[in-house]
Amino acid sequence: MHEEYMRMALDLARQAAAEGEVPVGAVIVKDGKVVGRGRNSTETDKDPTCHAEIKAIREAAKTLGGWRLPGCSMYVTTEPCSMCAGAIVLARIEELYIGTPDPKAGACVSLFSIPTDSRLNHRVKLTVGILQEECSAVLKDFFRGLRSGRIKSAAKPSEEQ
């Protein structure tokens, strides 16, 4: 089942890439049912909090009727940043399945260990490497495409710049 849910997250990541967004997708599952989905839309929405994980948490909270998400598992294609890792802890998500680490901004195993920090009031069980090669390839292909001009970013310079 883990690979099936990560494939759902990968589909969302590919949708984000098609829109010129950094390809990250997230799915939240409770009792075998998907209760939240999200994909990056920071450029499109002009909102730094529109990360896949945050959007999936918002949808799951709405679906389940509360901000605490006990019994939920999150599947995310790329290691969450510090903002998202903090939100995962605050939402009381029980398990986090990560596709590929992020050595530049990851806050779960790479740079920090927010979800497992014993000083916090909640800890999240982590599993890293679900469909890692595929998750990594989606990111690498996207950034390679940006550098070559094959992919256009959703980012547009503001008129003030």
Q: Which residues are catalytic?
A: 53
Q: How far is CA 51 from CA 32, 36, 42, 157, in A?
A: 23, 13, 7, 20
How far apart CA 152 and CA 145 sit, in angstroms, is: 8
Q: Can you tell me which residue has the tokens 């590919």?
A: 14
Which tokens sit at 99?
């596709």
Residue 92 backbone class (left: φ over 0; alpha: ψ -120 to 50; beta: rest): left
Measured CA to CA in angstroms, residue 26 lies from 9, 84, 129, 144 at distances of: 5, 11, 15, 22
The residue with tokens 């050595």 is 103
